[in-house]
């Protein structure tokens, strides 16, 4: 679908619920096309991309640059294969580049750290093995490669027609970037701002100490931008950046309230708190007991992200007992 002149959205299938597909974007210019994000490495995603390109008369060799907003499998998994087909240079923020080896190549250490973090946050030993490697299955959909170009905040990416500014927007991932075209007032937001769902922000071994604090600052980074259209990694293109930022912010305020309340009577672990609060508000609130595998882990990790921010803001206290962290709201 051509959304504005020379900007095409191609939807590639995923196996997530509720994320049924990822949007990748092709931006054409006089010096070739830029592909923003890639989909993950399944035959279905690859052929959907191939068909999409063909449908718009874009050949592999027309793609000169591939920009990865962040290295989650759905955005990055196909990068290597597309690079082989197109010869395009792959670019991403240097922080994301630094996470690849630990996440996708030598991931034993990361799994041990994940297990350690889950244990510290009160996950019962019986649940540890299942949660520790709950996202490992996705590695199968990633062909890891290091980027040709490591980006920094403020770098420019041009194809002679469009000029993007690289905006570092950590939170959803530590080196997540958005791309902003100031002249045309277009924002490519990756998973930083989505229209229909609230992007996940979790604490994990690669998230940094205070991912939710980072995320909220990154909302500030983009909310003042003049954007006529926002092109997200999932869901529809939209034009209400400021309103959407407000909605996401109030979602976090609401969740924080529930977490504060759960932690207000006695010190509790993140796990205990996660079991007490409703998840997936879009579906009317789902009990922790009904979450499985990765969703369950995300619920715990998201709770930790909230608790860590509350500690930074002096609104909660962390109490260590026998290697386990308990939190008490002040």
The nearest distance, CB 93 to Zn ion, in angstroms, is 13
Residues 6+ apart with CB under 8 A from 40: 12, 14, 22, 73, 74, 76, 77, 78, 138, 141, 142
286 strand-pairing partners:
279
Q: Which two tokens stand for residue 176?
A: 């997540």
- Region from 70-78, 99-107, 124-132, 178-186 binding Zn ion, contact rule CB under 5 A: 70-78
The nearest distance, CB 71 to Zn ion, in angstroms, is 9
Asked whether the CA dihedral 231, 235, 237, 242 is positive or negative, the reply is negative
Nearer to Zn ion, 132 or 191 (CB): 191
Q: Which two tokens stand for residue 49?
A: 């991309």
Closest CA to 131 of 144, 122, 140: 122
With contacts defined by CB under 5 A, how many residues of the chain interact with Zn ion?
4
Residue nearest to Zn ion (CB): 72
Nearer to Zn ion, 294 or 311 (CB): 294
The nearest distance, CB 77 to Zn ion, in angstroms, is 11
Nearer to Zn ion, 91 or 260 (CB): 91
Three-state secondary-structure class, residue 28: coil
Question: Which of 37, 117, 181, 191: binder of Zn ion (CB under 5 A)?
Answer: 191
Q: Name the CA dihedral angle for 69, 75, 76, 79, rounded to a multiple of 10 degrees.
A: -100
Q: According to the binding rule CB under 5 A, does residue 103 interact with Zn ion?
A: no
The nearest distance, CB 249 to Zn ion, in angstroms, is 19
Q: What is the DSSP letter of 200?
A: P
Residues 6+ apart with CB under 8 A from 246: none
The nearest distance, CB 204 to Zn ion, in angstroms, is 12
Question: Which of 10, 73, 74, 168: binder of Zn ion (CB under 5 A)?
Answer: 74
Please, what's the b/e burial string for 307-322 (b: 16 or more CB within 10 A of its CB; e: otherwise)? Answer: bbbbbeeeebeeeeee
Q: According to the binding rule CB under 5 A, does residue 302 interact with Zn ion?
A: no
Asked whether the CA dihedral 275, 109, 205, 295 is positive or negative, the reply is negative
Nearer to Zn ion, 70 or 83 (CB): 70
Q: According to the binding rule CB under 5 A, does residue 72 interact with Zn ion?
A: yes
Q: Between 222 and 241, how does the x/- string for binding to Zn ion read (CB under 5 A)?
A: -----------x--------
Q: Between 249 and 288, how does the x/- string for binding to Zn ion read (CB under 5 A)?
A: ----------------------------------------
Residues found near Zn ion in the complex (CB under 5 A): 72, 74, 191, 233
């Amino acid at each position: 679908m051509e959304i504005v002149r020379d900007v095409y959205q191609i939807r590639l299938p995923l196996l997530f619920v509720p994320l049924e597909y990822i949007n990748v974007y092709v931006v054409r210019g006089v010096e070739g096309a830029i592909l923003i994000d890639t989909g993950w490495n399944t035959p279905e995603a690859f052929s959907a991309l191939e068909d999409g390109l063909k449908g718009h008369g874009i050949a592999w060799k027309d793609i000169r640059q591939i920009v990865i907003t962040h290295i989650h499998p759905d955005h990055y998994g196909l990068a290597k294969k597309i690079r082989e087909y197109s010869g395009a240079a792959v670019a991403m923020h240097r922080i994301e580049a630094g996470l690849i080896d630990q996440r996708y190549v030598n991931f034993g250490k990361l799994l041990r750290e994940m297990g350690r973090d889950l244990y510290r946050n009160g996950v019962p030993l019986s649940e540890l093995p299942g949660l520790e490697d709950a996202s490992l299955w996705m590695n199968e959909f990633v062909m890891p490669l290091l980027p040709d170009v490591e980006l920094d905040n403020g770098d420019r990416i041009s194809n002679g027609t469009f000029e993007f500014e690289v905006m570092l927007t950590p939170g959803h991932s530590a080196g997540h970037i958005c791309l902003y075209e100031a002249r045309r007032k277009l924002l490519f937001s990756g998973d930083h701002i989505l229209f229909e769902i609230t992007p996940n922000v979790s604490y994990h071994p690669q998230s940094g100490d205070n991912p939710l604090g980072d995320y909220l600052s990154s909302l500030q980074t983009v909310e003042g931008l003049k954007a006529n259209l926002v092109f997200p990694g999932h869901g529809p293109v939209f034009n209400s950046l400021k309103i959407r930022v407000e909605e996401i912010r109030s979602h976090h305020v609401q969740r924080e309230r529930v977490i504060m309340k759960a932690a207000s009577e006695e010190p509790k672990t993140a796990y205990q708190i996660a079991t007490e609060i409703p998840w997936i508000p879009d579906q009317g609130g789902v009990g922790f007991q009904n979450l499985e595998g990765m969703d369950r882990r995300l619920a715990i990790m998201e709770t930790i992200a909230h608790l860590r921010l509350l500690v930074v803001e002096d609104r909660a206290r962390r109490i260590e007992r026998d290697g386990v962290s308990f939190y008490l709201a002040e």
